[in-house]
Structure formats: C-alpha cells, structure tokens
Amino acid sequence: MLTMFCLCVCLLISSVQLNAQTKKINRPKSTLGISSVDNFVGESFNLYDKVYKYDAYAKTETPLEDEDVDILEDALTNITNLSESAPDILADLDGLSVLKQAKATLQINRAKKALKYSIKTTKELLLGTTEKEEDNSSEKEKPIENEQ
C-alpha cells in the first residue's frame, strides 16, 4: 500500500509539465544498480544532450549541415524506439525496496521528460530545415520574368 502511494505521489509530482524549457534538464548523478533503468536513463540523456546541442545552434541561427540533419533523423528514430521501451522497464521494479522504487521512478520520469523534449525539438529542427530547403528550391525553380 505504501509502495503504491509513493509511486503515485512521484508520478503526480513529475507529471507537472512546463511548456517552455528554460534550463537544461540535469542528468541524474548516480546510478541505481538496476541495469534496465540505468541504461534507459543513460541513453535518454545521451540523446537529449545531442538534441540540446543542435537546438542551441538553431537558436543562434547557425544553419544545420546535411550531416547534422542525418544525425537528427537517426536520433529521432532512436528516441522513438527508446520511449516505446519505457513501460517494460517498470516491470523490473517489482520486488525492490520502496526507496529504490521511488528513486527509480524519479529517474525514469526525468528521462521521459528529456525524451519528450528531444522528440519535440528534433521534429521542430527537422521541419525548420525541411521548410528552408523547400523555400530555397522553390526560389530556384521560379522562372525569371523578362522586363520589356
């Protein structure tokens, strides 16, 4: 009963979302010793760091190269696959102490928040790049009108 209460409180606290991210989400400082949770959190934040870097480039209006777009497309695929594996990780928490379950839940929720940011930002960056490429190609295709 106490376990369920702690999990519900943790989920309720972590479900509060902010629309705009004002600062970088910090990677958890320690691992839990639960390989599936530690791997999920580690991979989530590795992808998050990559997307955060490209988002900083976009905010400084630094254009993304073709290689950057390929990296972001691969990251989006990895992020999607990783976020689909999240429900399976919760099963690994059965039988652990209440404190360890609470810590794991907090780390998983932080990783899910990082993944949500990564998915949203990657899509925005890729759409922005695609729109710019389409604008450039449509400008090239416009026939030059002769002035007479």
Q: What is the DSSP string of 83-133?
A: HHTHHHHHGGGTTS-HHHHHHHHHHHHHHHHHHHHHHHHHHHHHHHHHHHH
For residue range 61-110, list pLDDT tens digits in order. 877 788 888 888 888 888 888 878 777 787 888 888 899 999 998 999 99
Q: Other CB atoms closer than 10 Å to residue 91's CB: what's the count?
A: 8
pLDDT value at 8 more than 90: no
Q: What is the pTM of this model?
A: 0.68
